[in-house]
Amino acid sequence: MKKLDRYIIFSILKTGIATLLLCTFMVIAIQLFLDMNNIISSNAKILDVILLSIYGLPEYMMMVSSISFLFATTYFLSQLVANNELIILYNSGLSYRRILRPIVLLAIILSLIFSFMTENLFISMTKLRDMKRDELFGRSSTHDNRNVNFLDTDEEYLLHANSYRESNQSLNNITIVNYEDGNITSRLEANTATFNKDTKVWDFKNVTLFNFIGNTVEIEQYQDYSKPRYHLEPRLFKNLSGSIKSMPLQDAKAYLNRMEKLDINAYRENVVDLIDRLFSPYSILILMLISCSMSYRFKKNVFLFSIIQSLCTAVVYYVAQMVLAITTKQGFSPEYVYLVGPIILVVFFVILIKIIGIKNV
């Protein structure tokens, strides 16, 4: 039995790794083609371009890993059927579940390895790749943001700013509405605000403060104005589109917990990216398990039809994931739907294909 398990594992690993390397180099070639104009215009050296590709290797491998091992599993199982090896194994007293046991074990191990490498290697390599791109192509990554809106439920105020500049950690054209027990108490308008790193509060310039007392309004003017209640960290105002994927995990979770209270739209945008970061390695497990459950009962051309079936399954999975990512970011569906929706849809798709295959046997 150990020999059989080793045979199954190494057969899938051999095909999977070969496919992974081939697909990774294809992605690198496509990326280099897309960057060709930037490479030529920046007069980048060959060594720098090679280094840029090396830094991008982990991300590219992660992109194609699930499809590569889906193909490897499908290829192995289809060859068992096409070469009548499955019949021999059945006649030896082995069940199909016993044959799938090492495949499931391999899928779990691969997912755990890729998950560990994502958090401990891939993210740091991606940061180096982005820094290298900025250096070569003369781009400066920016976290500037526009139309900033926050509701601070702890200090009870609503903040709006036309823009946020990361270079000097400043807000422009700010309006703050203060409230207490559901009633508006004052309104603050300021031209600019800069975060004071010493006091950890925002310093406002050219302030007009409207205090609502009963049916009267008191207006106060200030050249400089600051209050301890206005202490939101500058990072909350950043445009962090995509950056959540490269943050330290603890910082990413803390940021999302804060944004869930302050800006629900930014929360939805970033929670999808974090879910994708945490669970994308387990796409290997999901697609390999789905490959094990597919029908291989084709009368002829088993390999061809099995590959077509696996490719259709992958397309359904990733298209469903893309659509649900959009609906989740827009607030039309909750986060757990984005996580389990593609899996449920693909399971139904595989069951449908299997039923059709059984009827045509």
Q: Tens digits of per-residue pLDDT, 298-326?
A: 666 777 777 787 788 888 888 888 898 88
Q: By C-alpha distance, which of 268, 352, 275, 266 is closest to 321?
A: 275
- Note whether 227 and 249 are within 8 A (CB): no
How confident is the model over 220-274, as pLDDT tens digits? Answer: 999 999 988 898 888 777 766 556 777 777 777 777 777 777 677 778 878 888 8
Which letter, b or e, does each residue of 265-284 get, where b requires 16 or more Cβ atoms within 10 Å of its Cβ?
A: ebbbbbbbbbbbbbebbbbb
* Distance from C-alpha of 356 to C-alpha of 354, rounded to nearest angstrom: 5
Q: By C-alpha distance, which of 54, 56, 63 is closest to 126?
A: 56
Please tell me the predicted confidence (pLDDT) of residue 15. 92
Please tell me the predicted confidence (pLDDT) of residue 214. 79
Segments of the chain scoring below 70 in pLDDT: 1, 138-143, 239-243, 262, 297-300, 354, 356-361
> For the residues of 254-282, what is the DSSP string, one character each?
HHHHHHHHH-HHHHHHHHHHHHHHHHGGG
Please tell me the predicted confidence (pLDDT) of residue 18. 93
Please tell me the predicted confidence (pLDDT) of residue 203. 93
Please tell me the predicted confidence (pLDDT) of residue 138. 60
Please tell me the predicted confidence (pLDDT) of residue 344. 87
Q: What is the value of pTM for the model shown?
A: 0.70
Please tell me the predicted confidence (pLDDT) of residue 241. 54
Angle at alpha carbon of residue 254, lines to 248 and 260, rounded to 5°: 130
